[in-house]
Amino acid sequence: MVKLIIAANWKMNKTRKEAASLIKKVRPILNNKQREVVIFPPFTCLDVVSKLLKGKSAKFGAQNMHYETKGPYTGEISVDMLKEVGCSYVLIGHSERRINCNENDEDVNRKIRTAVENEFTPILCIGENLDERESERTDAILEEQIRNGLNGLTKDKVLKVVIAYEPIWAIGTGRSATTEQASHAHSEIRKLLTNMYDRDVAQKMRILYGGSVTSENISSLLRGKGIDGFLVGGASLKPDEFIKIVKAKPKVVR
């Protein structure tokens, strides 16, 4: 059975000292046998997190990277630089980068391919905004982002990719998708992957949900069909809250 992934996206939060303090506070879940915990700290904290996770089963990754391995790209960071500090994961295509940094599907695809070719596990973030959901375009938007993001990847290579469905209207808003909404999106994603590759690939690929995940709603979300884990934002910055999320079990419905 594949372990659920619980990924913590710290975004632009935590100094090196604060990062060390947070990692020490969540120590009880860093060797979790049932869940694969992945921490995504800011670039400046990667080495600190690396040292504190040494000997633990928890992994860590970068929140972004460039698709070129070196060159005149001021302010960017390469896959080789991330390898050197021990990263094994990288977030790619997060909506905040698509919106704030004008990243398009071509940029995302080039990054995904670079990550896979360098033995990284990229988490491809996809999701619709509120207008797109209300106009019933969610499935079309997800299909466009997935087809473009995975363009050129063979069956063997695409299995290294993790997909994170993060509806933009639920990120940092306190408004999470319902279990039914998340399950529907994950089901449609697997249907698309079956069409693009085959059923075996679609079933093996891991698909996460992200968007205002908390210790209060995760037990319900865990009941969602086809949800292989969660990408947690703000709640991952609160030690007690994140520990509860990692330890959470599906809500029993009577």
Whole-number pLDDT of residue 2 = 75
167 within a domain of the structure (yes/no): yes
Read off the amino acid at residue 102: N
> What is the DSSP secondary structure assignment for residue 12, as one 8-state letter?
S
Percentage of the chain beyond pLDDT 70 is 98
From the candidates 94, 103, 128, 132, which is the catalytic residue? 94
Tell me the pLDDT band of 175, cut-offs 50, 70 and 90: confident
Whole-number pLDDT of residue 239 = 98
Mean pLDDT of the chain: 95
- Total domains, the chain: 1
84 within a domain of the structure (yes/no): yes
pLDDT > 90? residue 58: yes
254 within a domain of the structure (yes/no): no
Ramachandran sector of residue 93 (left: φ over 0; alpha: ψ -120 to 50; beta: rest): left
For the segment 116-142, the average pLDDT, to the nearest whole number, is 96
pLDDT > 80? residue 251: no
CA distance 99 to 95: 6
Q: What is each CA distance from 91 to 30, 88, 210, in whole angstroms?
A: 20, 11, 12
71 within a domain of the structure (yes/no): yes
| CATH number of the structural domain spanning residue 93 | 3.20.20.70
From the candidates 36, 128, 132, 166, which is the catalytic residue? 166
List the domain range (segments joined by +) for residue 197: 4-247
253 within a domain of the structure (yes/no): no
- Please say whether the beta carbons of 37 and 59 come within 8 A: yes
For the segment 169-183, the average pLDDT, to the nearest whole number, is 89
CA distance 221 to 82: 32
CA distance 209 to 63: 17
Pairing of strands 229-232, 121-126: unpaired
Whole-number pLDDT of residue 1 = 58
- Please say whether the beta carbons of 108 and 127 come within 8 A: no
Segment 69-126, tens digit of pLDDT? 999 999 999 999 999 999 999 999 999 999 999 999 999 999 999 999 999 999 999 9
149 within a domain of the structure (yes/no): yes
- Please say whether the beta carbons of 205 and 213 come within 8 A: no
For the segment 45-57, the average pLDDT, to the nearest whole number, is 97
Whole-number pLDDT of residue 253 = 53
Whole-number pLDDT of residue 187 = 97
94 part of the active site: yes
Whole-number pLDDT of residue 252 = 56
48 within a domain of the structure (yes/no): yes
Helix, strand, coil in percent for the chain, rounding step 5: 45, 15, 40
Tell me the pLDDT band of 254, cut-offs 50, 70 and 90: very low
Percentage of the chain beyond pLDDT 90 is 93
51 within a domain of the structure (yes/no): yes
Q: Taking the CA atoms of the chain, what radius of gyration do you get in angstroms? A: 17
166 part of the active site: yes
For the segment 18-41, the average pLDDT, to the nearest whole number, is 96
